[in-house]
């Protein structure tokens, strides 16, 4: 019917009703977003049409109508405003479009990378975001996809929640076809993640999304902002919604640049315990109002992530080299001269390498000495006695503006890779004492000298062409409950069997019969659900086991921590992948970084101690 144009690729100058196309700025799950102009002002126009990422193309129009219905109920300074809607090119049968205010700024992740905010600036920003979330929930609207891409920060430092394409409200019709609503997997709450793991193969299962899920998602964004200087593009970020793995605290991840009070608050927001996590956005906002009054250089002067030093540009081949500033300085040798001198540098390099190895040995010795008594930690001063601001919206702008092309992205964030588990203690309501953290971990914090020694050794190691550090979970005891369950419920004899049950690593990659025809698969870090390929004592063939894979090391490592018994009960277990008594599964030909190739079927071992 509308064969004379492509709604996914409208050209500058084309008209959509009264709006003139300027450029395309993003493409989401069910729509494409254009920057448009009318009467000399800029706006964003979201045109509902099927894209290559549409999860359910038949529901495209319904999703557009529901997004408009959600936005009509909201009126908040930090939530994007809808200015109009309609259909085009036909008033009755055309594509549904929504006109929104144009947010001239950065995504939340880009804001962190460009402005290098202080802890106070981050606190003020999230104080406003939780105020917007409180307004939204009070009107029965759930965003359901609060991600780094769906939070913008204007050039004046004001945050804005955007992209309500996955939003829902109390009386809306059900549009979800899967167990979970569309959204960003990284920001799912632990209870939503557990529901998905248990019901992803059940067509009729539906998760009831709640306000606490939005609170967790916003907390996950806060964690990423605090713990990572490039929160959107970093690889190997720690998983946040696992019932097994606890991520490192922001205080630890930044070597103390995030104050412990703010770090503890962020860990509360992403706690797997619903009794610890705030139940409402209002409860989540109150501590931020207190943290916003803290004074001191570590809160208001020192950036969480220091700006990286610019790299000196290497001269281009054939480019003339400038003379040194000092007349007495030696001239810069040419590339040919440097190549001729290179053989004379080899003995020096060998000597430096030997020195580096010696430094590594000294560092290891220092790191394994018994911890020396430390003086009691200095107690942080309480916040200044200042009256709280009448409204979080009256705070000063939080960013330092920088020139950057504006954007309004709406595409969904892809599933990230998973970092190895961290041994840091779990934070709850209290703020941990540094000595308590040290005793809990059993490790002494290395000094600056020791850290430098290790750095020198690691650089020398890499320059020598040696393999990188092995990426695998740390050894630790299997929980007592799991040992008892494996013995009593499954009849597994840990320490006596030569092998454990054979399993299909991930049931989503095909059945056992399909594995016989196509035995290999490409793997990635993350949760998996496997199945026993044969009976093993009391455990029946086909019994599902939930676990996690690590794939960034020299082998593919896997731990399965929960078994689904007949009748619906689950019990904890400790089952790890093995290959001819060697821990893990071999990476095969064709493996690439981040995408190793391995077998779909593997042997396992029931253990009392994770190796």
Considering the chain, what is the average pLDDT of its residues? Answer: 76
Contact of 262 with 123, CB cutoff 8 Å: yes
- Do 504 and 417 have their domain in common? no
Average pLDDT over residues 511-523: 81
- Give the residue numbers spanning the domain of 4: 1-102
Between strands 503-504 and 582-583, the pairing is unpaired
Q: Residue 26: which pLDDT band, with cuts at 50, 70 and 90?
A: confident
Residue 35 pLDDT: 95
365 in any annotated domain: no
Lowest-confidence range among 56-70, 222-236, 332-346, 592-606? 332-346
Alpha helices, H only, 236-314: 250-253, 260-269, 281-291, 297-300
Of the candidates 44, 221, 214, 217, the one whose C-alpha atom is nearest the C-alpha of residue 125 is 221
Q: What is the DSSP letter of 472?
A: -
Please say which residue of 71, 102, 133 terminates a domain. Answer: 102
Return d(Cα 527, Cα 416) in angstroms, integer. 12
Contact of 378 with 433, CB cutoff 8 Å: no
Contact of 494 with 484, CB cutoff 8 Å: no
Element (H, E) at 562: strand 557-564
- Asked whether the predicted pLDDT for residue 378 surpasses 50, the reply is no
SS3 at position 507: helix
Lowest-confidence range among 170-179, 209-218, 228-237, 289-298? 170-179
Return d(Cα 243, Cα 125) in angstroms, integer. 29
CATH of the domain at 550: 2.40.128
- Asked whether the predicted pLDDT for residue 397 surpasses 90, the reply is no
Average pLDDT over residues 241-254: 90
Domains of the chain: total: 3
Tens of pLDDT along 578-593? Answer: 886 688 998 998 888 8
pLDDT above 90: percentage of residues in the chain:
40
Tens of pLDDT along 464-484? Answer: 333 333 477 888 899 988 999
Tens of pLDDT along 97-126? Answer: 999 999 999 999 999 999 999 999 999 999
- Asked whether the predicted pLDDT for residue 558 surpasses 90, the reply is yes
Average pLDDT over residues 476-503: 81
Element (H, E) at 34: strand 31-38
Contact of 536 with 567, CB cutoff 8 Å: no
SS3 letters across 299-332: HHCCCCCCCCCCCCCCCCCCCCCCCCCCCCCCCC
Of the candidates 246, 186, 194, the one whose C-alpha atom is nearest the C-alpha of residue 219 is 186
- Do 152 and 213 have their domain in common? yes
With b for 16 or more beta-carbon neighbours within 10 A and e for fewer, the 476-512 pattern comes to eebeeebbebbeebbebebeeeeebbebbbbbebeeb
- Asked whether the predicted pLDDT for residue 574 surpasses 70, the reply is yes
Return d(Cα 570, Cα 134) in angstroms, integer. 36
- Hey, what are 366's tokens? 């220092």
Q: How many helices (H) and strands (E) does the chain have?
A: 14, 22
- Do 481 and 591 have their domain in common? yes
- Do 57 and 154 have their domain in common? no
492 in any annotated domain: yes
DSSP 190-243: HHHHHHHHHHTT-TT------HHHHHHHHHHHHHHHHH-SSTTT-SSPPPSS-S
Q: Residue 223: which pLDDT band, with cuts at 50, 70 and 90?
A: very high
- Do 274 and 418 have their domain in common? yes
456 in any annotated domain: no
Lowest-confidence range among 66-80, 420-434, 491-505? 420-434
CATH of the domain at 217: 1.10.510.10
338 in any annotated domain: no
- Do 53 and 183 have their domain in common? no
Q: Residue 259: which pLDDT band, with cuts at 50, 70 and 90?
A: very high
Return d(Cα 130, Cα 332) in angstroms, integer. 57
Contact of 44 with 100, CB cutoff 8 Å: yes
pLDDT above 70: percentage of residues in the chain:
68
349 in any annotated domain: no
- Do 119 and 10 have their domain in common? no
Environment class of residue 245 by beta-carbon count within 10 Å: exposed (0-12), middle (13-18) or buried (19+)?
buried
Residue 460 pLDDT: 37
């Amino acid at each position: 019917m509308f064969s004379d144009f492509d709604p996914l690729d409208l050209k500058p100058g084309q008209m959509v009703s009264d709006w003139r196309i300027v450029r395309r700025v993003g493409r989401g799950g069910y729509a494409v977003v254009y920057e448009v102009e009318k009467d000399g002002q800029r706006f964003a126009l979201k045109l509902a049409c099927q894209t290559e990422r549409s999860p359910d193309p038949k529901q495209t129009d319904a999703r557009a109508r529901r997004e408009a219905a959600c936005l009509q109920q909201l009126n908040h300074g930090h939530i994007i405003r809808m200015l109009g809607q309609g259909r085009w090119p036909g008033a009755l049968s055309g594509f549904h479009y929504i006109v929104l205010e144009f947010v001239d700024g950065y995504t939340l992740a880009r804001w962190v990378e460009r402005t290098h905010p202080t802890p106070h600036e981050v606190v003020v920003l999230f104080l406003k975001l939780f105020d917007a979330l409180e307004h939204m929930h009070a009107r029965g609207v759930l965003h359901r996809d609060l991600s780094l891409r769906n939070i913008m920060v204007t050039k004046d430092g004001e945050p804005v929640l955007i992209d309500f394409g996955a939003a829902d409200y109390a009386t809306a019709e059900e549009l979800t076809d899967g167990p979970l609503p569309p959204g960003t997997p990284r920001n799912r709450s632990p209870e939503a993640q557990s529901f998905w793991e248990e019901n992803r193969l059940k067509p009729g299962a539906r998760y009831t999304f709640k306000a606490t899920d939005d609170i967790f998602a916003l907390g996950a964004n806060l964690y990423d902002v605090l713990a990572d200087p490039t929160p959107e593009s970093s690889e190997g970020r720690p998983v946040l919604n696992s019932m097994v793995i606890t991520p490192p605290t922001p205080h630890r991840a930044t070597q103390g640049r995030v104050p412990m009070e703010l770090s503890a608050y962020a860990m509360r927001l992403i706690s797997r315990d619903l009794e610890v996590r705030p139940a409402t956005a209002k409860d989540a906002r109150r501590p931020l109002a207190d943290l916003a009054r803290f004074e001191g250089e570590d809160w208001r002067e020192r950036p969480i992530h220091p700006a990286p030093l610019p790299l000196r540009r290497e001269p281009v081949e054939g480019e003339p080299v400038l003379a040194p500033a000092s007349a007495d300085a030696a001239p810069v040798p040419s590339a040919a001269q440097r190549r001729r001198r290179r053989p004379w540098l080899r003995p020096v390099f060998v000597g430096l390498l030997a020195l580096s190895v010696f430094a590594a040995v000294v560092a290891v010795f220092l790191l394994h000495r018994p911890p020396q008594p430390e003086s009691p930690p200095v107690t942080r001063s309480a916040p200044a006695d200042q009256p709280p601001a009448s409204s979080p919206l009256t705070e000063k702008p939080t960013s330092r503006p920088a020139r950057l092309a504006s954007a309004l992205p709406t595409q969904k964030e892809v599933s990230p890779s998973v970092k190895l588990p961290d041994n840091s203690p779990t934070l709850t309501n209290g703020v941990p004492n540094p000595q308590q953290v040290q005793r809990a971990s059993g490790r002494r914090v290395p000094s600056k000298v020791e850290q430098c020694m290790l750095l020198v050794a690691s650089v020398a190691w890499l320059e020598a062409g040696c393999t990188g550090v092995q990426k695998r979970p740390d050894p630790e005891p299997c929980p007592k409950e799991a040992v008892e369950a494996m013995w009593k419920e499954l009849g597994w004899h840990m320490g006596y069997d030569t092998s454990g049950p054979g399993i299909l690593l991930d049931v989503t990659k095909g059945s056992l019969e399909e594995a016989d025809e196509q035995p290999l698969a490409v793997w990635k870090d993350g949760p998996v659900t496997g199945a026993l390929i044969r009976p093993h004592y009391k455990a029946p063939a086909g019994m599902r086991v939930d676990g996690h894979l690590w794939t960034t090391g020299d082998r593919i490592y896997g731990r399965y921590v929960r078994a689904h018994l007949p009748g619906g009960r689950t019990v904890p277990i400790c089952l790890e992948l093995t290959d001819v008594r060697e821990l893990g599964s071999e990476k095969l030909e064709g493996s690439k970084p981040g995408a190793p190739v391995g077998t779909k079927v593997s042997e396992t071992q029931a253990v009392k101690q994770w190796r």
